[in-house]
Structures are given as structure tokens and as C-alpha cells.
Amino acid sequence: MKRRSDLNIEVAATQTDMKKTSRGDFSADQRLLQLSAISIAIGAVGAVVAVLLLKLIAWFTNLFFYLQFSLTPRTPAGSPLGLWMIVVPVIGGLIIGLMARYGSEKIRGHGIPEALEAILFGKSLMSLKVAILKPLSSAISIGSGGPFGAEGPIIMTGGAIGSLVAQRFHLSSAERKTLLVAGAAAGMSATFAAPIAAVLLAVELLLFEWKPRSLIPVALASAVAAAMRVHLLGAGPLFPVAAHGIVEWPGLLAAVVVGLVAGAFSSGLSTLLYALEDAFEHLPLHWMWRPAVGGLVVGIGGYFQPRTLGVGYDLIGDLLLGHLAVSIVLALLLVKCGIWLVSLASGTSGGVLAPLLIMGCGLGAVEAILLPSSGSASLWPLVSMAAVLGGMMRAPFTAVIFALELTHDVDSLPPLLIAAVVAYGFTVLVMKRSILTEKVARRGYDIFREYTVDPLETYRVSEAMTESVLTIPGSFPASQIYERYFSSSQKHRGFPVVDANEKLLGILTISDVMEMSISAPDAALTARDLIRLDPIVAHPEETCREAAERMAESGIGRLPVLSGGKLIGIITRSDLLKPRLLRFEEERRTPR
């Protein structure tokens, strides 16, 4: 009769042979269908939430600046309050501070860093309280004149909804991440009519992977939200511009300059933001009062330049169409930068995408005076907008596709790509972290954003294992095992036990030897009799990653490698470093 360990080894070998024939390019399984179905529903909900938040912002804008109860979209610029406009952002800041102090501190900030923190360090768990308070606080902040966009809060709210749904279905942490990001992408897609940019944002900033398991559900949620937007808010583009034709070589070279300027602008803006945040930390005030202090600066700046208050989508349209004189653009740009930096540093609630679009457009409108004309006033504001977005967020492809979907200006693609990539390269070399990851790092978490294939995934166990293995014959006398294999001259704490045909019987550790010697000191015992546990094994065609995960799960440092039930080698933690060493040599060593 076969021992249970022998049967288990044979079954494991059979299962591995089956897996060898069915292994493909990806690790997705049938749960992808379940995640996709849930994501479609989340996409629909995300679109509705985006519409509700935009309506809520309009309601608070009418209430704060026009003293009316109305859902009609209006800007603070037409308010009849006069000098009282300065007080409105202060009131909004006070409310935000109270909500953060007595509701949830997670409503502070612009949304994306909070989503990053939840994904990477919070197991993608978000609470219902955040899902309710974040959009409400953002609507109050923007409605009272805060110079922010609605997209950050919508991303945070959509992510919270996705996380709550995943918790309801008792999904794993990785699956919760997928649904969280699906909700975030749906919110952005519905807000800007930019479904592809929303998916790219998810990939470049939130998912930290490129897998069918996550990409397909997120793309479906984004597409559903964009389709629903047509019926809820109308179709895109959000900022249509006039065609300008193909950009020639002088324009492409000018795009390099625009990218460099945008990179320097992004670096300076991010540095200044966190310098102001540090300054707020030194104020002799509880952090609850800081948004009110920032609101005072917003109110003063908004009094002199009312168009810098609120979301400012109408201002983006005018900048892209060239409707504003350069002197006016300069004033708007300076005031917008100032009040946005101070307000965001004070810890209020609001998004960063819309302000970055405005500042990028303003910078491009000023640069257009010195750059080659393309027959359209929109080209350089558009290119600069994408470059600033790509540099500040370290997401160049999101920035390029976002600009295309906002305007449908396909001819601008080459200069958009050049400027965004140059700005991205500039900030990568000059700045350690982006405006998004710096906030997370200041909370004690480090983020590494380079996506690469894990070398453990590309190397087989057969390539990394040690073929020369010291084994214990199953018939070896138990009384001699300790002296022969576990004395002070030996460095291993466990050895494979094999029969006469080199088939693995089990693993024998020093603890097994010590316990059996105490409980049953029988001179007739052999190594085969001391085996108590079924061995955990690896197989040559498995990936090193599978072996590493099996070691981590079982808490052991070495696995015997079997082929057809026979022992052909052993793989240890040290062996798993070999693929890493090869990757290191590929990247760092150069030939003479």
C-alpha cells in the first residue's frame, strides 16, 4: 500500500502536467467575468454620482454667491456680492475644517493621493462615511469659490463606491482594488467625456499593474460611464476647437520648448505647494482652521480676478479659443496659481486636474506670442495644457489622450506627444516625486511607479534550482541521522528523504529527528519512519514566482523539485535571487 505522502506527490505531479499544457500568456481566470459584470454596474453608478456632484456644486455656487436655491450652472464671476465675495471662501473653508475635524479627516486633499494610499497601503478599503462626506465637502469647497476641479473628488467618491461594492461581495484585496479603480475611472470618464484617458489614468496612476484582470473591468466601467454621460450631460468634446492642419517641423521643435517650460513650471509649482504646506504646519492654529485661512487668500484673489474662482471650465474654453488678451491671461495665470497653491496647501477639499488645465492653457497662451503660428490660436494653449498635466502628474499618455478627447483635435497629436513626454522626462530627472505621490510620501509611505515584468515570472524553477542535492535514504537508521546530517558541521536544517529509485518520500527536519528520538527511541526506526508531514514541492516547469509564493505561504525556505515523482533538484530562497541578479546585470553592466 502506498503511503499518503507518495499519493500526494503523484497527484501533484499530475496536476502540474495538466497546468503545463494549459498555461497561457496571462493569469486571468473565470472570476474576470464576475468582476466585469460588477464593473459595468459600477460604471453606471459612477456616471450618476458624477452628475449629482456637478449639480451639487452648481447648487452651492448659487447659494453662496447669488443667495438662491438653484441647480442652474453659474460661475462666481457674475456674483453681485461685491466685497462680500472675499468672505464667501472663508465661510466655505470653515465648513470644510469642521467636516474634516468631526466627520473624517480623509476628505482633506484632492482625492487622487487618498485613492493611492487606500490602494497601496489600505487594502483598497474605503468607508461609507468617506463616500458621502467627500463629494459633499468638495461641493461646498468649490461652490464657495475654491479654485478646484470636480474630478478629484469624483475619482475619490467613485473609488469609495467600488470599494464598498467589493466589500459587499467579500472579494479579495486585489479584486477590491480593481473595483475601486473602476469606480474612479467611471467618475472621470463621465465628468470629462474622456473614457480612454480615464483608463490610462487608472493604469498610469492607480492600478500599478497591467493585467486583464484589472484592465478589462476598468475599461468597461469607463465606457459605460461615457455612454451614460451622453444622456445625462451631453456628448463631447468638452472644449471643441477649430482645426489648424498638420504641424510642420518648426512647430514640432517648438513643442520641445513648450515641454521644457512646462516641466520647469511643474517642478516649481510642486515645490512651492509643499513649501506652503510646511508653512501651514507651523501656524499656531489647529489644522481645522487652516482651510479658512486659505479661503481668505482665495477670497482676496477672487475679488480682483473673479474668473479664477470655482471650477473654471468656461475659462479653459476661452483660453483654448484665444478669446483673452495676453495681459488678462497673465493676470489670471498668476492669481490662479497663487490662490490654488495656498488653498490646496491649507488642506481643503478639491481636485487638481481642472486647475492644471487652466494654468497649462494660460502658460501656452503667453508662449504663443513667441512660437510659430499654426493658423489656430488653440494649438499652443492645448499643447502646453497637456505638457503641464503630463509633467505634474507623471502621466504623459493620460495627458495626451485627455487633451485629444477634450478637444477632438487629432492633428495636434505629434506636438502633444512631444511636449508631454519632454515635460515628463524633465520632472522625472529633476523631481523625486510628483505632486500626487509627494503627499503620500509625507504620510510615511514610499511609492515606486516603474512597471516591469517580475523576473521571477519569466524564469522557470528548472533554470534557478540547485541540481546537486544531498538526500537521506529512506532506509537510513534513525539513530545515526542526527550525527550524520544535523551535527554542527552541517548547515541545513532539513533534507529530502528518497527511496532506492530516487522518488521523494518526504522532508526530514531536525525538529522531526529530535521529537521522534525523545518519544520513540527505537533502534529499528529508519528515516522513512520519521516523516510525519506531506512535503510541499515544486516542479521544473513552474515559474520561480509560483515557487516563491508557495514558500511564503508555507513559511519554509526550500522546496524539493520533482519531475514524475523523482527528485531532480531543490530550490531555495537564495536560488530565487538568481533571476534578480541576471536582471541587475542586464541593466547595470556594460561591455568593455
Looking at domain 31-232, which of 1.10.3080.10, 3.20.20.70, 2.60.40.2480, 3.40.50.10420 is its CATH number?
1.10.3080.10
Q: pLDDT value at position 516?
A: 62
Q: pLDDT value at position 12?
A: 47
- 454-580 belongs to which homologous superfamily? CBS-domain (3.10.580.10)
Domain with CATH 1.10.3080.10 in the chain: 31-232, 249-441
Q: pLDDT value at position 507?
A: 81
In this prediction the pTM is: 0.81
Q: pLDDT value at position 58?
A: 94
Contact 273, 94 (CB under 8 A): no
**pLDDT tens digit sequence for 13-72:** 444 444 444 556 777 778 899 999 999 999 999 999 889 989 999 999 999 999 999 999
CATH topology of domain 249-441: Clc chloride channel (1.10.3080)
Give every residue of the chain whose pLDDT is below 70, as ranges.
1-24, 110-111, 120, 488-492, 515-523, 532-533, 590-592
Q: How far apart are CA 90 and CA 295, in angstroms?
A: 4
The residue among 138, 145, 81 whose CA lies nearest residue 112 is 138
Domain with CATH 3.10.580.10 in the chain: 454-580
Q: pLDDT value at position 497?
A: 86
Q: pLDDT value at position 2?
A: 43
User: Sign of the CA dihedral 495, 501, 506, 511?
Assistant: negative
Q: pLDDT value at position 492?
A: 67
Which grid coordinates are listed for 249? 517641423
Q: How far apart are CA 55 and CA 61, in angstroms?
A: 10
**pLDDT tens digit sequence for 378-400:** 899 999 999 999 999 899 999 99
Residue 432 gets the label, from left (phi > 0), alpha (psi -120 to 50) or beta, of alpha
User: Sign of the CA dihedral 74, 75, 78, 83?
Assistant: positive
Q: pLDDT value at position 296?
A: 96
The residue among 302, 182, 232, 236 whose CA lies nearest residue 55 is 232
Show the DSSP H helices in 394-543 as ranges: 396-407, 413-430, 437-441, 455-458, 461-464, 481-485, 510-519, 527-530
Q: Which residues contact 213 (CB under 8 A, 6 or more apart)?
A: 27, 28, 31, 32, 35, 174, 175, 178
Query: In which order are the strands placed within the sheet that holds 472-473?
Result: 472-473, 494-498, 504-509
